[in-house]
């Protein structure tokens, strides 16, 4: 069995298509949805763990997704908190779907639990001080 965690960005032309359903059937994949959202602009974000029975089958499915126009990024990228830029305003805490960003009740500082992060990048987009960054 092989497994791979990926971040999929669907353009609005593909959001309403059953692409993942087809991939799961065609390549006999299992999947675990880690995060899913559709923005007001109707662009989709899906963070998945894809699991295949055969070596290389997940790579074939990912290639087909790219060929269809889906942007595919590995989840291996790291979201990091730049302590020098952070003002501990707490905006990111409200939006973090996994509570990887949280407010320490004693220090009242924003803390980042990297192991809970699924790489959805919501914090990167909403941080007014650009304290959340993506490192590849």
Q: What is the pLDDT of residue 56?
A: 92
| Domain C-terminal end among 74, 101, 127 | 74
One domain for residues 8 and 69: yes
Instruction: Say if pTM beats, i.e. exceeds, 0.75.
Output: no
One domain for residues 61 and 7: yes
One domain for residues 11 and 58: yes
pLDDT in tens, 2-31: 888 888 989 989 988 899 999 999 999 999
Q: What is the CATH number of the domain that holds 11?
A: 3.30.70.260
More reliable by pLDDT, 54 or 78 = 54
One domain for residues 61 and 8: yes
One domain for residues 17 and 61: yes
Mean pLDDT of 37-62: 88
- How many structural domains comprise the chain? 2
One domain for residues 88 and 113: yes
Residue 107 domain boundaries: 78-135
Which residues is 3 bridged to in the sheet?
51
The Cα 32–Cα 126 span in angstroms is: 26
The helix or strand, by DSSP H or E, that contains position 93, with its residue range, turns out to be helix 91-95
């Amino acid at each position: 069995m092989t497994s791979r965690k990926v971040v999929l960005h669907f353009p609005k032309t593909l959001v309403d298509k059953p692409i993942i359903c087809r991939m799961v059937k065609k390549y006999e994949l299992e999947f675990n949805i880690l995060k899913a959202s559709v923005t007001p602009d109707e662009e989709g974000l899906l963070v998945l763990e894809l699991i295949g029975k055969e070596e290389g089958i997940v790579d074939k499915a990912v290639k087909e997704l790219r060929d269809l126009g889906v942007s595919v990024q590995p989840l291996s990228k790291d979201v990091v908190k730049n302590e020098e830029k952070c003002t501990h305003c707490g905006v990111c805490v409200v939006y973090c779907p996994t509570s990887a960003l949280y407010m320490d009740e004693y220090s009242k500082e924003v803390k980042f639990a990297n192991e809970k992060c699924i790489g959805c990048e919501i914090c990167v987009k909403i941080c007014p001080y650009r304290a959340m960054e993506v490192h590849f």
